[in-house]
Every structure is written in C-alpha cells, then in structure tokens.
Amino acid sequence: MEISLSLVIVLLLVLAAEFVNGLTDAPNAIATVVSTRVLSPYQAVVMAAVMNVLGVLATGTAVAFTIGKGIVQPEVIGLHTVGAAMIAIVVWTMVAWRYGIPTSETHELLAGLAGAGLAAAGPSVLLWEGWKKVLMGLGISTVFGFLLGYIVMIIIYRLFHHASPALISRVFGRLQIVSAAFMAFSHGSNDGQKFMGVFALALVLGGVLPQFHVPVWVILLCGLVMGLGTMLGGWRIMRTIGFKLTRLEPVNGFAAESSASVGILLASSLGIPLSTTQTISTAIMGVGASRRFSAVRWGVTREIVLTWLLTFPACGILGFLFELLLKQIFS
C-alpha cells in the first residue's frame, strides 16, 4: 500500500506532539518520587517509561477511541486537520516548557482538534458524547484529585500519629516506589492512549487502516517517543510539580500519587480523557492543604491554573489558524 507524503508528515507531527508530551506531561507521574529523593531522576524516568507502556497494554484503548472517534467526526476532516492540531500542541507546549510551567496536553489536544475541526467543517464537526466525557474528566482531575489527596493524607495522619518520623520516612520511602509506579501505570492508561488514538486516526484518514483500531506497534512507538521526551527534558516540570507547589516528604508523595492514580484509572476504565497534570497537581495541593492551608504555595498554583485556563482558547485558536493554512498547502 502506498503511503502519501502528507500522511508521513502528519504522523511525524503526531510523534512530535507525543515527544513534547514526554517533556511536560509524563514527568508529572514521577515528579514527587524524585522530589522526595526516593528515586534518582534517571531511575524514575526508566520506571515511568516501562510502566507507561504497560499501562496502555494492560488497560485497553477506551480513551484512544474517545479521542480518535468521539471528539470530532472523522468522516468530515482530513489529515491537515490532525496536522494543524499537532502543530498547535507543539507550539503551546514549548512556550510553557521554556518557563517550566506544566501544561495539560489533554486540553491542548482537545482544543487543537476542536479548533482545527471547526475551521474544517463548522460546529457540526464536534461530537457531544465525547465532549460530555471531557467535562466529566475536568471534574475528576480537579475536585476529585484535591479532595482525595486531602482525605488520604488525613487518614495517614490518623493511623500513624504515634509513629516516629524516622519510621514513617522509612516505611513510606519504600511505599512511594510502588505508588510512583502506580502513577506512571495510570498515566499510560489515560494520557498514553491519547496520541496513540490520534496516530491511529491519521492512519485511517490516510487509507492505511480500513477501520479505527490501535495496533500494538503504534502503542510501542508512541510510548518510546514519550519516554525519550521525559528523559531529555522532563526535569523542568519535575522541579515545578515536585518542589514548588508544597514541601513533600515520602509520606506526602505516596498520598498524592495514590490519590491521583485512583482518579486516573477510574477515568480510563470509563473511556474518559482527563489531564494527569491537573490530577497530580490538585492531589499535591490537597495533601499540602491537609497540613495547613498556607503550606501550599498559592502563587505557583495561580501560574499553573492560569496556564490551564489559557490553554483551551489559545490552542483552539492556533488549531483553527493552522487548519486554514494547512488546508491550502495540502490541497
């Protein structure tokens, strides 16, 4: 089967977006275990890369199907639409990464696809069923993440209030390795699937796949590219999430990672795309607030939240403009 040059270009753009996902989103899964010095950055990155791929392989492709078939109508868009969304993601992510601000590639992807789809085919291109899941994901990643992090930390305080600090540090230092692996696994179950869904969508639009599904080689390729991005440049985001939001000890990292993982896996089982950046960030805020409200550095939090709020309109506009440009070039 002949593969067109336009398909090759779009697939490379998808991989570029997956790479910057590794730069700014995947590090969230391991930021806490690095900040508490339970694992070195290299050990954490290797573990995250392996567990991300396992998370995708073991949990199905429900989220990938939501992204590939439930956000915009595949029948009325073209390869240029996918390419426009990917360029929007890369541009916005690199600007945020330059300043060490964690972005949500989930929001970038959804907004970029929506903006490009609107430019390609108008409002009817958007699919309500998929966007309903997006709204559910926003609730899980913000309110659920914060509350669960707060509650889990309070429970741990109650259970171990007679234990010595040395014992708590030793026990949760070991447990945090498990919770970090759990977090990376859950990241793969949700975020790891999103660009795989876009990659498969491009293969369908390019005539390579007769119907939408995610081949194993796509899973492995995207997982490798994401891990490479984390290894080469993820430290900036690890520093913001792991060190700047609040002071973290192994017990706090365990509580935040466990809480975020539960929320992410719940969403993945329902095919709900959500932001792992938001989920782990709000879980860390909840853990910090359980100590005292002022323990959270709300100035840093404001910067992160502002970036989240700007992401949807910015990437939507970028996707719209790049679609208008690519549509002319591809035709």
Give pLDDT tens digits for 281-294: 888 888 888 887 77
Stretch 90-105: mean pLDDT, rounded?
77
- Predicted local distance difference test score (pLDDT) of residue 218: 92
Residues 177 and 38 sit within 8 Å (Cβ to Cβ)? yes
Residue 199: pLDDT over 90: yes
- Predicted local distance difference test score (pLDDT) of residue 102: 62
Stretch 123-148: mean pLDDT, rounded?
89
The boundaries of the domain holding residue 113 are: 5-330
> In b/e form, how buried is each residue of 199-222, taking b as 16+ CB within 10 angstroms?
bbbbbbbbebbeebebeeebbebb
Average pLDDT of the chain is 84
> For residue 35, what are the contacts with CB-CB under 8 A and spacing of at least 6?
238, 239, 241, 242, 243, 248, 253
Residues 28 and 159 sit within 8 Å (Cβ to Cβ)? no
pLDDT band at residue 21 under the 50/70/90 scheme:
confident
pLDDT band at residue 300 under the 50/70/90 scheme:
low
Taking the CA atoms of the chain, what radius of gyration do you get in angstroms?
Answer: 19
Residue 7: pLDDT over 60: yes
Give pLDDT tens digits for 35-49: 777 787 778 778 877
Q: For the chain, how many structural domains are there in total?
A: 1
SS3 113: helix
